[in-house]
Structure 1
């Protein structure tokens, strides 16, 4: 997940090296060109990743609560969740790259990848929150 944040930050600098004032003038409700669309998609991805990270933190905390009273031979839920999140992030990145591959030669390639990543990241956050709810019953 940290790798994704760093990647998105680097991509933002590489594709849209404008001042903060210029970036704040962009209306992401109506981006006018590819640079603005890329900037807005990267901002949406950062927001989705932030929300997912918060959901992951809550899920991990709940998993640790459930793990604590268990005998040693049954413990391991938090480690399993961390490994699952790492595997999920790798899956998301590779799946979205594959999804966008046919469009790589044009301007849609990057946007297809970013849109895919936003969608899957939001879904993962919802899944983590649903997991917390399942464990609360």
Structure 2
């Protein structure tokens, strides 16, 4: 099963769960596997939302850097494209790595939690990497 198929299947399973039940999950005290799966997915969704916000800011910053560098030499331009290339590569790495993480409980009820947990962890780490690009460097 590919990562895409697994994510679609997980999404369909979550959609089948009543929305009210998902909202009522106390993630600080989740005890059932279903609740832990829901909470892990919520963690990933929050991490992904933050990543998207920071990524947009980083693209804008790299675009501005390209404008600055163009004044020096056209040969220096490319920060925005390098960021986008790195992000595409990172997404492939993240998806593959997290699919692999799910094999610890392949086919079991814990697999979605392992995949979502991995996605949240790697996404949070990538967000920090992007934030570092936004910080001014000392010369």
| Range of TM-score over shorter length | 0.7 to 0.9
For 1:9 and 1:52, the matched residues in 2 are separated by 21
Deviation at 1:61, TM superposition (A): 1.0
Deviation at 1:48, TM superposition (A): 0.2
For 1:123 and 1:132, the matched residues in 2 are separated by 15
- 2:124 matched to 1:125? no
State whether residues 59 and 131 of structure 1, in contact with CA within 8 Å, keep that contact through their aligned partners in structure 2.
yes
Structure 1 equivalent of residue 59 of structure 2:
60
Deviation at 1:105, TM superposition (A): 3.8
Moved more, 50-59 or 8-17: 8-17
- Structure 1, gaps ≥5 residues long: none
- Paired residues, number: 132
What is the RMSD of the two structures over their aligned residues, measured on CA atoms? 2.4
Deviation at 1:98, TM superposition (A): 1.6
For 2:135 and 2:36, the matched residues in 1 are separated by 35
**Runs of 4+ with >6 A deviation:** none
For 1:95 and 1:43, the matched residues in 2 are separated by 19
For 1:9 and 1:105, the matched residues in 2 are separated by 15
Looking at CA atoms only, which structure, 1 or 2, has the larger radius of gyration?
A: 2
Structure 2 equivalent of residue 88 of structure 1:
90
For 2:14 and 2:122, the matched residues in 1 are separated by 22
Q: TM-score if structure 1 supplies the norm length?
A: 0.82
- 2:81 matched to 1:79? yes
For 2:138 and 2:86, the matched residues in 1 are separated by 20
State whether residues 12 and 39 of structure 1, in contact with CA within 8 Å, keep that contact through their aligned partners in structure 2.
no
Change beyond 3 A, Cα 1:43–1:31 = same
